[in-house]
Amino acid sequence: MNDFKDSNTPDVSDFQLDRFQKLIAKLFQCCQERMQYQCERFQLPDAEFRCLILFGYERYLTAKSIAQKMNVVKSRVSKIIDGLIKKNLVQRIADPEDSRVQLLSLTPAGQKKINDINQFMESLHGQVLSQMAPDQRNTMLTNLDILNASMEAVKDMMV
């Protein structure tokens, strides 16, 4: 790892690197705690919660696409989906174009749960932003865009 740092980041001080690592760890921990709270609030295990969130962006998903997005094996997705089906949040539908494929979609109860989650998230994020002065919000959002682009660039270099 030092070779990577030495050859590609000569202008990064040890202080900056240490501070960045600590801040990222704190942010990650905060996000994990929020995720645990959300799971408890919405009475879903972590994997089911994360899976359900994927439906917020798609009308239909397949077990294969869920496995890719969640970075888990398809057999694990089957168990997650079975749990969501038992809770009447997701349903299986035969693909009209290929009878071998089962499409997965939200039930009305699942759509309501997603709407409740989205409303909660919007409120939570609004509270976070309200902790900052209006001019700080724009600066922070710009810096998060830069951080995201930098992290994506490094991720692409790892592949």
Tell me how far apart the alpha carbons of residues 19 and 24 are, in angstroms, rounded to a whole number. Answer: 9
Q: What local confidence, expressed as pLDDT, does residue 9 receive? A: 66
β partners of residue 98: 95
pLDDT, averaged across the chain: 91
pLDDT tens profile 7-17:
456 799 999 99
Q: What is the C-alpha to C-alpha distance for residues 84 and 50, in angstroms, rounded to an integer?
A: 11
* Residues comprising the chain, all counted: 159
Closest-CA residue to 37 (of 49, 25, 27): 49
Percentage of the chain exceeding pLDDT 70: 94
For each of the domains in the chain, give its residue range(s) and CATH number, in order of start.
Answer: 13-158 (1.10.10.10)
Nearest to 84 by CA among 95, 101, 70: 70
Indicate if the pLDDT at residue 115 is higher than 70.
Answer: yes
Residues 75 and 66: beta-carbon distance below 8 Å:
no
Identify the pLDDT of residue 6: 46
